Amino acid sequence: MAWNIEGRYFENCSCDAVCPCTWSSLAKPATHDFCKFLLTVHIDSGAIEGTDVAGHTFAMLVHTPKMMTDGNWKVGLFVDDGASPEQAGAIGKVVAGELGGPMAMLAPLIGEFLGVEQVPIEFSEQDGTHSVKIGSSIDVEVQDVRVPDLPGDSMLVNVMHPANTTLTIAPATRSQIEGFGISFEGTGTSGFSAPISWAG
């Protein structure tokens, strides 16, 4: 059954800004011996296999090797606690790449799926600032980069990324992340934001 979701995404990772994994479409290694990242999506509209998922938020917490294409990713999924079991299950299928769409290209790289947790999630956006609080152990804020006297935000274009091929550069202004045995403090490290339009 066809599915689609429209919404907004942002991420923060442990790489120095700007993450080489992203600008090289995974062809270059992370700036440290690993990459840890939190990728957050708020769904504005859409349905998955007939299940309406509008208004819900999910986030993937991931640990990868220095070279992402080496695989063996560890992935945990947070879904907001307002989602029904059916909605959370549908979102889980999309994230796992089971239903096709952008996440399907990453599925072969996942070595260990760490599970799904439903917790309170607070997602907000205002004037180029994007933030999320997940339970009591994750608090992240990123800020879109805009150079004075230029007409728009600073962006990466024509990159291979599941969220979008064009990303706004948005380093973290606040970042404390812990969950699924993965943790990092990413204030000042790499971040991006973009609208998403996924379908399968």
Whole-number Å distance between alpha carbons of 60 and 138:
12
User: Is 137 within a domain?
Assistant: yes
Whole-number Å distance between alpha carbons of 107 and 196:
18
User: Is 28 within a domain?
Assistant: yes
Total number of domains in the chain: 1
User: Is 120 within a domain?
Assistant: yes
pLDDT by residue for the chain (200 residues), tens only, comes to 789 999 999 999 999 877 877 777 787 788 888 999 999 999 999 999 999 999 999 999 999 999 999 999 999 999 999 999 999 999 999 999 999 999 998 999 999 999 999 999 999 999 999 999 999 999 999 999 998 888 899 999 999 999 999 999 999 999 999 999 999 998 999 999 999 999 99
Determine contact, residues 155/166, Cβ cutoff 8 Å.
yes
**Sign of the dihedral through C-alpha 156, 194, 129, 147:** positive
User: Is 53 within a domain?
Assistant: yes
User: In this structure, which amino acid lies at residue 33?
Assistant: D
User: Is 198 within a domain?
Assistant: no
User: Is 76 within a domain?
Assistant: yes
List the end-to-end C-alpha distance of the chain, in Å, as a whole number.
8
User: Is 124 within a domain?
Assistant: yes
Q: Which domain holds residue 75?
A: 4-193
Determine contact, residues 75/114, Cβ cutoff 8 Å.
yes
User: Is 42 within a domain?
Assistant: yes
